[in-house]
Structures are given as C-alpha cells and as structure tokens.
C-alpha cells in the first residue's frame, strides 16, 4: 500500500545484504510498490534480521553496519540480513531525526506485513536490531506491527537517551514491542544533564557493561590507538567509542561464541562492584549479546551487570571473594593485593579496592576480574604492602601470617575466605586454623 501523501512514511529503503558487494548493488525490497518484489538472495525459510542505524551527522552509512552484517553472514549463513537505510531522514538536526523515527518504524512494520503476505514469513522469526535512534525505530516498528503475533525479538544497542529518557513506554523502545526485548547500555554518562544512551531499563533484560557509563579503551588518552586503527576518523571514533561499544559487544558475541560474556542481575552497579551479585540461580545471570537467553519470568526491566575488556574478545572472568577479618582493630583502609594460581596459569598481583574502611569480625566482599581463564584455582596469596598476609594451597593446610610485628602496628588477621567463580558457579570455602 502506498504511504500517505505528504508524510515521511515510505521514505526508508530496505536493502538485502550481499557479501562482497557495495551497498548500492544490494537488492532492494520495496513494500510500497505492491505485488511480489523478489530478491534472488532472499530465502523465506530462513530467519530475518533487520538492522536499523541511528542518527547521522554526515549522511553516510557507518562502517559498523557492514561489520555487523558481515559477522552475521560469517557465523550464521542461513539468515536473511536486511539493512534499513533512512539516511535522508537521519541526516537532520537531532530533534527532527527523533521525530522521523516514528515514520521509519512504520516503514519497517510495513515491510514485515508485506513479507508476511508475500513470503508467509512468521513474525516470530524476525529479529530487529537497532543502534541509538535505531533502537527506538525498532520499538516503534514493533508497536505499529499489527497481527495475531508479535515480532520475535528486538535488540536495542545503547538506545538513544535525549528526548526519550523518562518517556512513557509507547514513546520509546519498551518490553511491550516484541516477544523478547534485550538492550545493551554502554554510554549513559550525563553531559550537561543529558546522557547519550538511555539510563532507564527499557527491555526484558537490560545489560549494563562496566556500569553502562564509560567503557574501557574509550578515554581521551586512547585517541592514538583509534587513529592507528581508523586513520583520520580516529578522533570521531574516540568521541563515539562508548556509545558504539554496544554494537561491537554484539559483534563480539557473534564471532567469539566460545568466549561468551556473562552478566549478573544486581540492584545497581555499586553492589556489583563490591562483588555481591555473581549468582546464576533463578535466571539471575544471562549471556550478553546474540545468544542472550530469552527469560520471561518476573517483571521486565531486569538490570544485569558485567565487566568487559577494552578490545575484542571483550570477555572477562569474574571472581567473588568474601574475606572475614577476625581480630579487633581500628577502622583502616589497607592496600591489599591478591595473586591467584590456577591449573592453567597465574594471574599476577591484583589490587583489591575496598569501597569502605574495614575492621575486625566482619566479612567484606569484593570483585576480581581476569582477561583469561587461569583454570581451576589451586592457590591464592593475599598481601598487604608487599608482605604476606595469607597464603593457601587448596589441597593443603593453610597458614596465616599477620602483617606487622610491632605492638603499635595494625594487626590484620584473616579468618575465612570464600571464593566463587562467576562463569562456573563453583564455590570454595576455606578456613584459617590459626596463626603461625
């Protein structure tokens, strides 16, 4: 059906991704002409992925679109990949581009209805992926789609914040827009009262890598790395690095499916930073990215947190340590390090950051992350300012070496250490029998 006269509906262009060909040569699917408009590469028996880009400052299709499409083709050959080209409506002042997202969402819904009519494509086999403004386009497409079934899945990649934060679910991406909605929030840091990405949860499962604020490798001092990788576009890449990290985390999850990043439900990032939330019981953890498990029990808007590295593969291994100090002492903030030895390799010394001053007869929890799998834990060494405080071989009797020999020196005695490995959910409990 032709779009209404005088509206922006119907201006979107849908291109079927073709490996190795320039975008201008990709076959176009046109739901507005009516009748069968077939593309030789479209297979109605395969699932459909539709990629929706965001706001455009230069009117050019961003390189991540091609990287993501190529990753899907490389890992999932039996899937249809369609890119929504709405550059003409996206290359506007931001508030105007925001207004245009509703029209583009209607266009995507029209495409889905047309594919359903012409190819008998089930909406359950449709996965909409939208970055920034494209995330809300995906949401509007889901809400505009009318039929007996909802769209199968929507993934929001750092959904845009300005003019969407705090809006009602009908005015942004929400968990109502598909059978399953997941979102990755990577740049919710506020500038002048606004955040680039939306802070509030908008999905069934909302992932906040590194707290959803700044991302590793995206600080201004990384500009030289970006210039080396992207050339003259390096400065622009530094500016949008954290926002676009959401896309690259998804690409990573497609290409490195043997190194899946796991995220954990937690009330907020502060609690997660203290290592209190590495629990997978009752669906309290999930895989980040393409292989996210569809979880429908409980209310929508579950927040999940994880740490990631600065480069692909982004996976980090999470360890929860609970340490009980048994002796009475004044509140102090010691400089502690811990070293782990596994069946595969050693971690080296890692700093322990306490969020508060510590005292005796209390248990403190903290989080340690590693960028590699060291295997099953065999030994740990806890040190205070370079002097051994506690050392343990898992299969031997443990000893304790309190720091300091002078009467006026603070004494710190470890009574118990509990270690939990996030990825395997293994828990090891060890007690110290006494001083040596």
Binding site, by residue number, is 172, 177
Angle at 134 between CA 130 and CA 140, to 5 degrees: 100
Q: What is the secondary structure of 209-274 as a DSSP string?
A: EGGGSS-TT-SGGGHHHHHHHHGGGHHHHHHHHHHHHHHHHHHHHHH-TTS--EEEE-S-HHHHHT
Catalytic residue among 127, 243, 248, 318: 243
- β-strands 427-431, 387-393: how paired? unpaired
Which tokens in the block code for residue 416? Answer: 């118990």
Of 85, 107, 158, 179, which one is the catalytic site residue? 158
Residue 224 CB neighbour total at 10 angstroms:
10
Residue 305's beta-bridge partner residues?
Answer: 208, 264
Complete DSSP assignment for 29-71 = E-TTS-S----TT--TTS-EEEEE----SSSS--HHHHHHHHH
Specify whether 158 is catalytic: yes
Examine the residue annotation and report whether 268 is marked as an active-site residue of this protein.
no
Distances (CA, A) of 62 to 54, 57, 96, 247: 9, 10, 20, 11
Q: How far apart are CA 208 and CA 184, in angstroms?
A: 6
CB 220 within 8 A of CB 234: no
Distance CA 68, CA 91 (A): 21
Tokens of 114: 């047309």
CA distance 104 to 85: 9
List the binding residues for Ca(2+): 172, 177
Sheet holding 48-52, edge to edge: 27-29, 13-16, 80-85, 48-52, 126-131, 153-157, 180-184, 205-209, 302-306, 262-265, 285-287
Residue from 132, 138, 195, 261 carrying the catalytic annotation: 132
With tokens 């370079």, the residue in question is 386
Helix or strand holding residue 108 (H, E)? helix 94-119
Closest CA to 278 of 289, 296, 260, 264: 264
Which helix H or strand E contains 107, and what residues bound it?
A: helix 94-119
Angle at 257 between CA 254 and CA 258, to 5 degrees: 160
Alpha-carbon distance of 192 to 84, in angstroms, equals: 31
Whether 171 is a known active-site residue: answer no
Residues 6+ apart with CB under 8 A from 415: 324, 325, 326, 431, 432
Instruction: Report, as residue numbers or ranges, the catalytic residues.
Output: 132, 158, 243
């Amino acid at each position: 059906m032709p779009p209404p006269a005088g509206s922006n509906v119907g201006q979107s262009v849908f291109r079927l991704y073709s490996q190795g060909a320039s975008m201008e040569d990709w076959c176009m699917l046109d739901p507005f002409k009516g009748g069968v408009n077939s593309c030789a590469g479209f297979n109605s028996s395969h699932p459909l992925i539709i990629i929706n880009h965001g706001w455009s400052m230069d009117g050019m299709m961003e390189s991540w679109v091609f990287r993501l499409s190529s990753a899907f083709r490389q890992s999932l050959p039996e899937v249809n990949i369609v890119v929504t080209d709405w550059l003409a409506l996206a290359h506007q002042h931001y508030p105007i581009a925001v207004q245009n997202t509703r029209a583009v969402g209607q266009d995507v819904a029209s495409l889905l209805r047309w594919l359903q009519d012409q190819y008998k494509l089930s909406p359950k086999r449709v996965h909409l992926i939208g970055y920034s403004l494209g995330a809300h386009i995906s949401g509007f497409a889901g809400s505009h789609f009318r039929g007996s079934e909802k769209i199968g899945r929507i993934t929001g990649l750092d959904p845009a914040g300005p003019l969407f934060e705090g809006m009602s679910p009908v005015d942004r991406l929400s968990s109502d827009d598909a059978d399953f909605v997941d979102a990755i929030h990577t740049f919710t840091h506020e500038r002048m009262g606004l955040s680039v990405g939306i802070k509030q949860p908008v999905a069934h499962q909302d992932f906040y890598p590194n707290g959803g604020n700044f991302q590793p490798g995206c600080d201004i001092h990384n500009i030289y790395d970006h210039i080396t990788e992207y050339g003259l576009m390096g400065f622009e890449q530094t500016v949008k690095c954290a926002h676009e990290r959401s896309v690259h985390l998804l690409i990573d999850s497609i290409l490195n499916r043997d190194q899946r990043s796991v995220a954990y439900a937690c009330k907020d990032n502060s609690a997660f930073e203290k290592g209190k939330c590495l629990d997978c019981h009752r669906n309290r953890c999930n895989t980040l990215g393409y292989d996210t498990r569809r979880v429908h029990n409980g209310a929508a808007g579950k927040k999940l947190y994880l740490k990631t590295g600065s480069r692909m593969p982004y996976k980090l291994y999470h360890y929860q340590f609970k340490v009980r100090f048994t002796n009475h002492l004044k509140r102090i903030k010691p400089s502690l390090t811990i070293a782990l030895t596994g069946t595969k390799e050693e971690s080296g010394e890692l700093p322990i950051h306490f969020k508060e001053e510590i005292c005796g007869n209390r248990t403190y929890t903290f989080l340690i992350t590693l960028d590699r799998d060291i295997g099953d834990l065999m030994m740990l060494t806890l040190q205070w300012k370079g002097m051994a405080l506690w050392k343990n071989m898992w299969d031997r009797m443990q000893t304790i070496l309190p720091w300091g020999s002078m009467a006026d020196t603070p004494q710190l005695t470890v009574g118990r250490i509990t270690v939990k490995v996030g990825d395997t959910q293994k828990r090891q409990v060890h007690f110290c029998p006494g001083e040596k």
